[in-house]
Structure 1
């Protein structure tokens, strides 16, 4: 009987863990240095910390997203007709980009994060 009770408790804990919601942030005012999160969608990646520099890579919109840690919050701005913020980030997980290249983690990029793009797994 104890074994069945223990199994029932274990299964209920697994179910609760599977139902846990990830931290989603829609209001980017909470983003600061050392924040980490995952971005879903297509993002331009610049290797130089210069807003007018050439876009070197473009992310793919896939289920894994792009995991980053914020090194610097640079400025609020408009880019391609969207309002948002410029961030200098550290890639914390490898990703594929649109030209088929595999980008290893720990590379630094300048990105523009649109205000209407939610971020997932947010940690301050």
Structure 2
């Protein structure tokens, strides 16, 4: 059991390093990451959503909190981008909603609230269609 937990922790850490190495350049260079970079970091294979979900399954809430904190910083970049199409005000509203949900996920992770984290992950999934329909 301990060995499996350690393996999960190592893989989660490798995922964080991979995400930050791949997408962190835009964030750290004081230049907003592109919408595409934020989406890949959030939902791509090995992205924040997948890694946080995995951390919750193994009840590793410290790891989930670290990932969620990075996810919040990543999603903040959306507010500095203009939508490819659609109303910019509506874009800002949707980006703020996404940011609020990631902050809620972080708060739940810091409390060790797996159900709260999963509720946030589910809420993020419900945002996709509306935003893509109006702005992609």
- Bigger radius of gyration among the two: 1
TM-score by length of 2: 0.29
Greater share of residues in strand = 1
